[in-house]
Structures are given as structure tokens and as C-alpha cells.
Amino acid sequence: MIHFRNVSKYYLTNSGRSYVFKNIDYDLPVNNSIGILGPNGAGKSTLVRMIGGADMPSRGEIFSNHRISWPLGLQGGLQGSMTGRENVRFVGRINGIKNTNDIESMVEEFAEIGKYYDEPIRTYSSGMKSRVAFGLSLAFDFDILLIDEVTSVGDATFRSKSQKALQKVREKTHVIMVSHEMNQIKTFCESGIVIKDKKFEYYSNVDDAIRDYKDTYVKV
């Protein structure tokens, strides 16, 4: 379970608090993979960031006994002054890996960014950062992998490679995924949540979640 206890997230504006989420109190099952559905601006990425600890609720708390990844596709954890290789080495060491040569090579091979792997992250495009972040996340054994549109990065060949890698990872872990592609949600997720009215609704069957999303947001 991922536990939400009276969770609210808001931003201060000239007209007061603008709520993204308000008073969520819920125990989210994570016994399978979950697709996050909602229109642009509904808070999908905000929810993923809060689950992964990259962002904090304005009020309340989110906690779990599971080992949860940082959000793939959101590369705020990569240090701009360090190279891709140095970032991988640093993350490996703070996670208890003394000899990081293997994961450095693995991420280098997976990311396919050539000489830029040894250039500062600040020189990377968003797609290059996502490639490194995705490859780095695959190097660790997480219980839950957070994914925010990352499998849409790169050309068709790299997207295919990313999806195959993700399928392999799912043999031993679950994912919580944000994607605008319904086919991708159905491929990788068994259940789903729909964000609406500053809360979310959980469905154990992803088809039910997609149906609710379409009924709520997709105008015919």
C-alpha cells in the first residue's frame, strides 16, 4: 500500500490558494501496475513527484513500506554540473554500491548518447536526460517504478528499446505510469486511477479507469 493521510497540494496565487489535490485520505493498493489518467493540468506529474518524494504535500503525508523509485521522466535529481557518468557514479555510491563500473557501463550502453555521457548534464536535451535517468533507474531493484511519459522519448528504435526494457523490469516490480497513450497504459498496467475534483478514484481494472476517464473528459 501507499498511504495518503489528509494530503493536500496547493500553490499560492494572487487570488489565494490554488489546489491541485485536496484532503485525500486513501490507501492505494500496489499489488499490480497502475496507470494515472487525467487531462493536462490535472496533477498527474505532481502526484508522481509526491509519491516519489521529489515534491512534498502542502499538508498531510504520503508513506509506504515499499522501495519506490524517483520519477523517471522528471530529471530534477540529476546534477547539472556533473557529467552523466558522474551522476550515475554518485547515485550508485549513495545507494551503497562501492564499485559502480558495471552500472556506469550499463547506463552508457542503454542511454545511447555517445560522447555526451562524459559532458555536464546541463548541456543535455530533455530527451538525453530522460535516457540517462531511465537507464539509471533500471540499475536498481525497486518495488515500484515511477514513470512519467519517459517511454515516449527518442526515436522509434529507442522507444521500442525502452518498452522492452520496461517489460523485463515488470517481471520483478510494479510500475505507476503517466502516459497520454491509452494503448501504452493498457499494455503496462492492470489497474488505474483517474484524477478529478482534486482527488483520485482507483479502479482495480484498468479498462474501468479508461472508461471513466473518457466519460469524464473526452468529448465526442
Using CA atoms, how far apart are residues 171 and 175, in angstroms rounded to an integer? Answer: 11
Give 66-122 pLDDT, tens digit per residue.
999 877 655 556 889 999 999 999 988 987 888 999 999 999 999 999 999 999 999
* Count of domains for the chain: 1
Q: Which domain holds residue 175?
A: 1-69+165-220
| Strand 144-148 versus strand 174-178 pairing type | parallel
**Domain CATH code at residue 208:** 3.40.50.300
pLDDT digits (tens, 9 = 90+) for 177-217: 998 889 989 999 999 999 999 999 999 999 999 999 999 99
Specify if 111 maps to a domain. Answer: no
pTM of the model: 0.85
90: in domain: no
Length of the chain: 220
